[in-house]
Amino acid sequence: MKYSQENIQITRQELMAKVQMQMSPRRFQHVLGVEACAIELATLYGASLELASIAALCHDYAKERSDETFITWINEQQLPLELLNWGNAVWHGIVGAEIIKQELLVTNEAVLNAIRVHTTGAAEMSLLDKILYVADYIEPNRDFVGVEKARQLAYQNLDAAVAYETEQTLVHLLAKKAPIYPKTIETYNKWVAHQSY
Protein backbone atom coordinates (compact mmCIF):
# COMPACT_ATOMS: atom_id res chain seq x y z
CA MET A 1 0.00 0.00 0.00
CA LYS A 2 1.32 3.43 -0.97
CA TYR A 3 0.40 6.05 1.62
CA SER A 4 -0.49 9.52 0.41
CA GLN A 5 1.89 12.27 1.50
CA GLU A 6 -0.74 14.36 3.23
CA ASN A 7 -1.29 11.62 5.84
CA ILE A 8 2.28 10.49 6.51
CA GLN A 9 5.58 11.22 4.78
CA ILE A 10 6.97 7.67 4.88
CA THR A 11 6.04 4.39 3.20
CA ARG A 12 4.21 1.53 4.90
CA GLN A 13 7.46 -0.47 4.95
CA GLU A 14 9.30 2.39 6.66
CA LEU A 15 6.48 2.85 9.16
CA MET A 16 6.51 -0.87 9.99
CA ALA A 17 10.26 -0.76 10.61
CA LYS A 18 9.94 2.27 12.92
CA VAL A 19 7.12 0.64 14.88
CA GLN A 20 8.97 -2.67 15.17
CA MET A 21 11.97 -0.89 16.76
CA GLN A 22 9.75 0.44 19.56
CA MET A 23 8.46 -2.87 20.90
CA SER A 24 8.88 -6.55 21.71
CA PRO A 25 8.41 -9.07 18.88
CA ARG A 26 5.21 -10.21 20.58
CA ARG A 27 3.68 -6.75 20.66
CA PHE A 28 4.75 -6.17 17.03
CA GLN A 29 2.85 -9.35 16.05
CA HIS A 30 -0.18 -7.90 17.86
CA VAL A 31 0.17 -4.65 15.89
CA LEU A 32 0.31 -6.55 12.57
CA GLY A 33 -2.79 -8.52 13.64
CA VAL A 34 -4.60 -5.27 14.45
CA GLU A 35 -3.65 -3.88 11.04
CA ALA A 36 -4.97 -6.95 9.18
CA CYS A 37 -8.20 -6.81 11.15
CA ALA A 38 -8.61 -3.05 10.78
CA ILE A 39 -8.19 -3.33 7.00
CA GLU A 40 -10.82 -6.10 6.89
CA LEU A 41 -13.27 -4.04 8.92
CA ALA A 42 -12.54 -0.90 6.86
CA THR A 43 -13.28 -2.90 3.69
CA LEU A 44 -16.51 -4.27 5.15
CA TYR A 45 -17.80 -0.97 6.53
CA GLY A 46 -16.45 1.40 3.86
CA ALA A 47 -13.69 3.28 5.68
CA SER A 48 -10.32 4.35 4.26
CA LEU A 49 -7.98 1.33 4.13
CA GLU A 50 -4.99 3.65 4.24
CA LEU A 51 -6.10 5.43 7.42
CA ALA A 52 -7.04 2.07 9.00
CA SER A 53 -3.54 0.77 8.21
CA ILE A 54 -1.72 3.85 9.57
CA ALA A 55 -3.86 4.02 12.73
CA ALA A 56 -3.38 0.30 13.44
CA LEU A 57 0.38 0.30 12.83
CA CYS A 58 0.84 3.34 15.10
CA HIS A 59 -1.68 2.59 17.86
CA ASP A 60 0.66 1.02 20.45
CA TYR A 61 3.80 2.87 19.26
CA ALA A 62 4.37 4.48 22.68
CA LYS A 63 3.22 1.59 24.86
CA GLU A 64 6.73 0.54 25.95
CA ARG A 65 7.89 4.06 26.91
CA SER A 66 8.71 4.54 30.59
CA ASP A 67 6.32 6.25 33.00
CA GLU A 68 8.92 9.05 33.31
CA THR A 69 8.73 9.67 29.57
CA PHE A 70 4.94 10.04 29.68
CA ILE A 71 5.10 12.29 32.76
CA THR A 72 7.64 14.54 31.05
CA TRP A 73 5.41 14.76 27.95
CA ILE A 74 2.33 15.62 30.02
CA ASN A 75 4.22 18.41 31.79
CA GLU A 76 6.06 19.81 28.79
CA GLN A 77 3.31 19.60 26.15
CA GLN A 78 0.71 21.29 28.36
CA LEU A 79 -1.55 18.26 28.41
CA PRO A 80 -4.20 18.16 31.20
CA LEU A 81 -2.31 17.62 34.47
CA GLU A 82 -5.14 15.35 35.60
CA LEU A 83 -3.54 12.73 33.35
CA LEU A 84 -0.76 12.43 35.93
CA ASN A 85 -3.22 10.48 38.14
CA TRP A 86 -3.34 7.66 35.57
CA GLY A 87 -0.86 5.19 34.15
CA ASN A 88 0.42 3.47 31.05
CA ALA A 89 -3.01 2.01 30.08
CA VAL A 90 -4.42 5.53 29.67
CA TRP A 91 -1.22 7.33 28.63
CA HIS A 92 -0.12 5.19 25.69
CA GLY A 93 -3.17 6.26 23.66
CA ILE A 94 -3.76 9.87 24.70
CA VAL A 95 -0.16 10.94 25.24
CA GLY A 96 1.01 8.37 22.69
CA ALA A 97 -0.87 10.27 19.96
CA GLU A 98 1.25 13.38 20.68
CA ILE A 99 4.46 11.31 20.58
CA ILE A 100 3.35 9.75 17.27
CA LYS A 101 2.54 13.17 15.83
CA GLN A 102 5.99 14.45 16.67
CA GLU A 103 8.12 11.38 15.95
CA LEU A 104 6.31 9.80 12.98
CA LEU A 105 4.95 13.06 11.55
CA VAL A 106 1.42 11.67 11.37
CA THR A 107 -0.68 14.73 10.64
CA ASN A 108 -4.08 13.15 9.97
CA GLU A 109 -6.33 14.14 12.90
CA ALA A 110 -8.75 11.25 12.27
CA VAL A 111 -5.85 8.81 12.75
CA LEU A 112 -4.56 10.63 15.84
CA ASN A 113 -8.02 10.66 17.38
CA ALA A 114 -8.56 6.95 16.77
CA ILE A 115 -5.26 6.34 18.59
CA ARG A 116 -6.29 8.66 21.46
CA VAL A 117 -9.47 6.67 22.14
CA HIS A 118 -8.30 3.17 21.21
CA THR A 119 -8.15 1.94 24.84
CA THR A 120 -11.14 3.69 26.44
CA GLY A 121 -13.49 4.32 23.55
CA ALA A 122 -15.55 7.53 23.70
CA ALA A 123 -19.18 8.61 23.68
CA GLU A 124 -18.73 9.99 20.16
CA MET A 125 -16.76 7.65 17.92
CA SER A 126 -16.07 7.96 14.19
CA LEU A 127 -16.10 4.86 11.98
CA LEU A 128 -12.29 4.80 12.13
CA ASP A 129 -12.35 5.10 15.96
CA LYS A 130 -14.67 2.09 16.16
CA ILE A 131 -12.61 0.06 13.70
CA LEU A 132 -9.39 0.55 15.66
CA TYR A 133 -11.09 0.00 19.04
CA VAL A 134 -12.62 -3.30 17.87
CA ALA A 135 -9.66 -4.53 15.78
CA ASP A 136 -7.39 -4.06 18.82
CA TYR A 137 -9.70 -6.36 20.79
CA ILE A 138 -10.33 -9.14 18.24
CA GLU A 139 -7.05 -9.44 16.27
CA PRO A 140 -6.02 -13.08 15.73
CA ASN A 141 -3.39 -13.17 18.51
CA ARG A 142 -6.00 -12.31 21.16
CA ASP A 143 -7.12 -15.30 23.20
CA PHE A 144 -9.55 -14.79 26.08
CA VAL A 145 -13.05 -15.84 27.03
CA GLY A 146 -15.49 -13.95 24.84
CA VAL A 147 -13.12 -13.10 21.98
CA GLU A 148 -15.00 -15.40 19.56
CA LYS A 149 -18.27 -13.64 20.33
CA ALA A 150 -16.57 -10.25 19.85
CA ARG A 151 -15.23 -11.41 16.45
CA GLN A 152 -18.65 -12.62 15.36
CA LEU A 153 -20.28 -9.33 16.36
CA ALA A 154 -17.55 -7.26 14.68
CA TYR A 155 -18.41 -8.67 11.26
CA GLN A 156 -22.19 -8.41 11.84
CA ASN A 157 -22.73 -5.10 13.62
CA LEU A 158 -19.79 -2.84 14.51
CA ASP A 159 -21.74 -0.85 17.13
CA ALA A 160 -22.73 -4.09 18.88
CA ALA A 161 -19.04 -5.09 18.91
CA VAL A 162 -18.11 -1.71 20.46
CA ALA A 163 -20.77 -2.29 23.13
CA TYR A 164 -19.70 -5.87 23.86
CA GLU A 165 -16.02 -4.94 24.15
CA THR A 166 -16.83 -2.00 26.44
CA GLU A 167 -18.95 -4.16 28.71
CA GLN A 168 -16.37 -6.95 28.89
CA THR A 169 -13.53 -4.50 29.59
CA LEU A 170 -15.51 -2.90 32.43
CA VAL A 171 -16.36 -6.29 33.94
CA HIS A 172 -12.66 -7.17 33.80
CA LEU A 173 -11.56 -3.87 35.39
CA LEU A 174 -14.21 -4.08 38.14
CA ALA A 175 -13.17 -7.66 38.96
CA LYS A 176 -9.60 -6.38 39.47
CA LYS A 177 -10.82 -3.31 41.41
CA ALA A 178 -8.87 -1.24 38.86
CA PRO A 179 -9.60 2.50 38.64
CA ILE A 180 -12.02 3.31 35.80
CA TYR A 181 -11.01 6.23 33.60
CA PRO A 182 -14.01 8.60 33.25
CA LYS A 183 -14.01 8.31 29.46
CA THR A 184 -14.49 4.53 29.80
CA ILE A 185 -17.66 5.24 31.82
CA GLU A 186 -18.83 7.72 29.17
CA THR A 187 -18.32 4.98 26.56
CA TYR A 188 -20.33 2.56 28.68
CA ASN A 189 -23.20 5.03 29.17
CA LYS A 190 -23.42 5.77 25.46
CA TRP A 191 -22.84 2.34 23.94
CA VAL A 192 -23.92 -0.19 26.57
CA ALA A 193 -26.47 1.23 29.03
CA HIS A 194 -30.06 0.83 27.80
CA GLN A 195 -28.87 -0.56 24.46
CA SER A 196 -30.24 -3.79 23.01
CA TYR A 197 -28.18 -4.95 20.06
- Shortest distance, CB of residue 182 to ligand GDP, whole angstroms? 8
- Provide the CA 130 distance to its chain's centre, in angstroms: 9
Assess contact for 83 and 97: CB atoms under 8 A: no
Q: Quick check: 136 binds ligand GDP (CB under 6 A)? A: yes
Please identify which residue in 136, 163, 181, 183 interacts with Fe ion, judged by CB under 5 A: 136
What is the rounded CA–CA span in Å between residue 52 and residue 42?
Answer: 7
Assess contact for 123 and 187: CB atoms under 8 A: yes
Q: Quick check: 35 binds Fe ion (CB under 5 A)? A: no
- Shortest distance, CB of residue 119 to ligand GDP, whole angstroms? 4
DSSP 98: H
Q: What does R_g of the chain's alpha carbons equal in angstroms?
A: 16
DSSP 54: H
Binding mask 46-65 for Fe ion (x = CB under 5 A): --------------x-----
Q: Which residues in this chain contact Fe ion in the complex, by CB under 5 A?
A: 60, 136
> Which residues contribute to the site for ligand GDP (CB under 6 A)?
30, 60, 63, 89, 118-120, 136, 169, 172-173, 178-181, 184
